[in-house]
Amino acid sequence: MPSDQHTEQPTERPSPKPSQAPQPGQAQQPSQAPQPGQTVQLGQHPVATHLVVHLSDTHFLAEAAPLYGSLDTDSTVICALRQIERLGLVPDVLVFTGDIADRGQSDAYRRIRGLVETAATRWGSAVVWVMGNHDDRAAFRADLLGQPVTREAALNPVNTPPVDSVITVNGLRLIALDTSVPGYHHGELTDAQLDWLAEELREPAAHGTILALHHPPIATPIGLMTVLELREQHRLARVVAGRDIRSILGGHLHYSTHGLFAGIPVSVAAATCYTMDLTAPHRELTGVNGGQSLNLVYVYDGQLVHSQVPIGDFTAVSHFDDGFLARIEALSPAGRLDAFSRQR
Bridge-based pairing of strands 50-55 and 293-299 is antiparallel
pLDDT in tens, 261-291: 999 999 999 999 999 999 999 899 999 999 9
Query: Which amino acid makes up residue 154?
Result: A
Q: What confidence score (pLDDT) does residue 18 get?
A: 37
pTM: 0.89
pLDDT of residue 328: 95
pLDDT at 39: 76
Render 84-153 in DSSP notation, one character per residue: HHHH-S--SEEEEES--BSS--HHHHHHHHHHHHHHHHHHT-EEEEE--TT--HHHIIIIIS-----HHH
All residues at 6 or more sequence positions from 332 whose CB lies less than 8 Å from its CB, including other chains: 28, 30, 31
Q: According to the model, what pLDDT value does residue 149 have?
A: 82
Domains of the chain, CATH where assigned = 45-277+284-310 (3.60.21.10)
CB 217 within 8 A of CB 248: yes
pLDDT at 227: 97
Phi then psi dihedrals of residue 154, to 5 deg: -70, -35
Q: What is the C-alpha to C-alpha distance for residues 50 and 160, in angstroms, rounded to an integer?
A: 34
Positions of the chain with pLDDT lower than 50, given as ranges? 1-3, 13-31
pLDDT value, residue 90 = 95
CA distance 180 to 132: 6
